[in-house]
Structure 1
């Protein structure tokens, strides 16, 4: 049985789609429900909320309202709220309104706030947070 992805509540009121660890998809995915991915996807993803498991691999662009990244991503991420967990390995640019990065996460790419009110939070293993206010590009 796969380990649970955490206590994430679906944004749209109760439905979500799950791609299990034994699933490998080549092609773009569009979902109106929240999307939980434990397997491998090679293609672009567009959804309301994305929750990615540690063992998951995504190769392609991600466009979501919220994205919680725990596995490997090769491609850009664009979301209103992005949470990068310590197990995440990302190679690509991230565009966000709110960004949280846990200590231990690896990121090879550019961080770009969407607007002047965007903020980033770095969280250490002890749970302490450091908030950064980043200026939007002009």
Structure 2
């Protein structure tokens, strides 16, 4: 998936823990508690974020591989892969390169697949003369 070994989970925000503020991480982060702020996997290094069934995020999420089975109130951007597991509840737009969505997962927002730069160029409409 990353072209090399997937990163391991090295950090944990445990159940009952509530954090206010942005979190920047590399490698892997598992979130079982509540976070009010943005969660960002450090660009340039492989990252995986797991938002467990007991977790809630109020803010933006961005990482290479994002697995959601809890609640997210904000946009989610998965640079490589987004997995929405059965109890996922996302209130915001999701952007992804690859998507796996299980039955029962809910997204209240837009599903926005990423496109490479060449594919995202839309040809101009022809001019119509009167």
Instruction: Give the TM-score band, short-chain normalised.
Output: 0.7 to 0.9
Show the 5 A alignment for 1:55-134: 55-79=54-78, 80-115=80-115
Per-residue deviation, 1:136: 6.1
Per-residue deviation, 1:33: 2.6
Per-residue deviation, 1:106: 1.2
Normalising by structure 1, report the TM-score: 0.74
With a CA cutoff of 8 Å and minimum separation of 6, indicate the structure with the bigger relative contact order: 2
Matched-pair contact (CA < 8 Å) for 1:113–1:136? no
Structure ID, larger Rg: 2
Matched-pair contact (CA < 8 Å) for 2:9–2:29? no
CA distance in 1, matches of 2:27, 2:81: 17
| Structure 1 segments (4+ residues) deviating >6 Å | none
Q: Which consecutive residues of structure 2, in runs of 5 or more, have no partner in the other structure?
A: 42-46, 123-130
Matched-pair contact (CA < 8 Å) for 1:19–1:38? yes
Per-residue deviation, 1:102: 0.5
CA distance in 2, matches of 1:15, 1:108: 28
CA distance in 1, matches of 2:9, 2:56: 23
